[in-house]
């Protein structure tokens, strides 16, 4: 029986290449499902899933909720803004209280790195990481790699540059793990203040010149500048950042080869990427969003298959 090697999706770091390929081939099936007139299958009709968002999210939360509903799961939602967390309840207590209402799976976003790993040791439910601080965001990396595979036919041997605020990005770390496991070469590009000091130990190239990075790559994944996570000044001004690291149509057209442009969203139009580039034919930003639902359906389906009856 083909099955995942893990019981929870805590991060890409724990997955094998075979796991990722199994998720991709399952997602192929679900991509087909969500393009049918009736976009729903009954697989998870006896499963209840709690979406716990201790940090803001629009796209990921909607995408997970849609994926769950398209699999016919029952869904409950929770966001920390309106909860007892504000009254001093611990994470384990909050989650155990929710689990006593007979919940089988937990999709969680939490500001603390490792919150999911901690929870997986303390509660009895399948856990899916929807982002933990600046650590990992596994489903985003899976859908990014899946979108590259869809557009270029394969990931192996492709050159991918991750541009921007790598320091505060959970998308960057998960992407590095996923792309490397699938055999791609990864480069990061950004101001030295936003590149973690020991990143090269992961076998990642580091480049500070955007033009050089773009000339090297097949795919550019443009990250958002996470002003909300920055507690000090990492660059003089947004305007200066945009001058140095913003992707413009002129820059894109000046390259010898056509590259693919990605963005995990939300886009700051005119900062890391101009509107012309975001809406150009080289951009697969909206394909990423569509693939996100299929990938999340695949992850939920494969993990739900491991829940005993």
Residue 28 engages another protein in binding (rule: CB under 8 A): yes
Query: By the 8 A CB rule, do 115 and 126 touch?
Result: no
Residue 101 engages another protein in binding (rule: CB under 8 A): no
Structure-token pair, residue 92: 């384990």
Query: By the 8 A CB rule, do 268 and 88 touch?
Result: no
Comparing CB distances to another protein, the nearer of 143 and 172 is 143
Binding segment for another protein (CB under 8 A), chosen from 37-45, 87-95, 219-227, 260-268, is 37-45
Residue 37 engages another protein in binding (rule: CB under 8 A): yes
Total of chain residues touching another protein, rule CB under 8 A: 28
**Residue for token digits 């773009």?**
214
Q: Which of 5, 25, 84, 254 is in the footprint of another protein by CB under 8 A?
A: 25
Listed residue (297, 299, 301, 304) closest to 35, CA to CA? 297
Comparing CB distances to another protein, the nearer of 36 and 121 is 36
Residue 1 engages another protein in binding (rule: CB under 8 A): yes
Comparing CB distances to another protein, the nearer of 29 and 266 is 29
Residue 255 engages another protein in binding (rule: CB under 8 A): no
Comparing CB distances to another protein, the nearer of 260 and 300 is 300
Indicate the burial class of 203 (C-beta count within 10 angstroms; 0-12, 13-18, 19 or more): exposed
Please give the residues from 71 up to 100 whose contact with another protein meets the rule CB under 8 A.
71
Smallest gap from Cβ 71 to another protein, in A, equals: 8
CA 204/CA 210 separation, integer angstroms:
16
Smallest gap from Cβ 77 to another protein, in A, equals: 24
Residue 29 engages another protein in binding (rule: CB under 8 A): yes
In DSSP notation, 227-260 reads: GGG-SS-SSS-HHHHHHHH-B-HHHHHTSSS--E
β strands within 21-155, DSSP E: 48-53, 74-79, 105-110, 126-132
Comparing CB distances to another protein, the nearer of 67 and 262 is 67
Smallest gap from Cβ 64 to another protein, in A, equals: 18
Q: Which of 15, 22, 163, 176 is in the footprint of another protein by CB under 8 A?
A: 22
Listed residue (225, 208, 234) closest to 268, CA to CA? 225
Comparing CB distances to another protein, the nearer of 31 and 168 is 31
Q: Residue length, the chain?
A: 309
CA 156/CA 138 separation, integer angstroms:
19
Query: By the 8 A CB rule, do 213 and 261 touch?
Result: no
Q: Enter the DSSP assignment of 146.
A: H
Query: By the 8 A CB rule, do 273 and 267 touch?
Result: yes
Smallest gap from Cβ 309 to another protein, in A, equals: 6
Residue 261 engages another protein in binding (rule: CB under 8 A): no
> Is the four-CA dihedral 171, 283, 292, 7 of positive or negative sign?
negative
CA 203/CA 222 separation, integer angstroms:
20
Q: Which of 6, 13, 14, 41 is in the footprint of another protein by CB under 8 A?
A: 41
Binding segment for another protein (CB under 8 A), chosen from 33-41, 81-89, 126-134, 175-183, is 33-41
Query: By the 8 A CB rule, do 180 and 186 touch?
Result: yes
Binding segment for another protein (CB under 8 A), chosen from 28-36, 59-67, 73-81, 140-148, is 28-36
Q: Which of 7, 18, 32, 156 is in the footprint of another protein by CB under 8 A?
A: 32
| Chain residues that interact with another protein, rule: CB under 8 A | 1-3, 22, 25-26, 28-30, 32-33, 36-43, 46, 71, 301-302, 304-305, 307-309
């Amino acid at each position: 029986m083909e099955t995942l090697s893990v019981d929870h999706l805590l991060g890409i770091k724990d997955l094998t290449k075979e796991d990722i390929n199994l998720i991709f081939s399952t997602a192929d099936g679900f991509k087909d499902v969500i393009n049918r007139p009736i976009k729903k299958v009954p697989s998870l009709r006896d499963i209840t899933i709690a979406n716990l968002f201790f940090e803001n999210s629009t796209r990921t939360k909607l995408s997970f909720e849609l994926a769950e509903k398209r699999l016919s799961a029952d869904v409950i939602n929770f966001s920390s803004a309106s909860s007892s967390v504000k009254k001093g309840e611990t994470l384990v207590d909050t989650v155990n209280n929710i689990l006593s209402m007979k919940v089988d799976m937990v999709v969680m976003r939490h500001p603390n790195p490792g919150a999911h790993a901690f929870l997986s040791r303390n509660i009895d439910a399948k856990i899916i990481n929807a982002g933990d601080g600046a650590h990992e965001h596994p489903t985003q990396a899976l859908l990014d790699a899946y979108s590259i595979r869809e557009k270029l036919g394969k990931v192996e041997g492709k050159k991918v540059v991750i541009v921007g605020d790598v320091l505060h990005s959970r998308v960057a770390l998960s992407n590095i793990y996923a792309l490397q496991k699938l055999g791609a070469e990864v480069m990061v590009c950004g101001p030295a203040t936003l590149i973690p000091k020991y990143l090269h130990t992961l076998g990642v190239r580091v480049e500070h010149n955007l033009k050089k990075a773009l000339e090297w790559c097949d795919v550019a994944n443009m990250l958002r500048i996470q002003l909300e996570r920055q507690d000090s000044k990492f660059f003089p001004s947004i305007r200066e950042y945009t001058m140095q690291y913003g992707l413009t149509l002129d820059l894109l057209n000046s390259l010898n080869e056509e590259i693919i442009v990605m963005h995990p969203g939300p886009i700051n139009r005119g900062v890391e990427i101009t509107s012309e580039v975001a809406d150009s034919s080289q951009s697969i930003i909206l394909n990423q969003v569509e693939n996100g639902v299929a990938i999340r359906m695949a992850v939920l389906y494969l993990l739900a298959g491991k829940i005993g009856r």
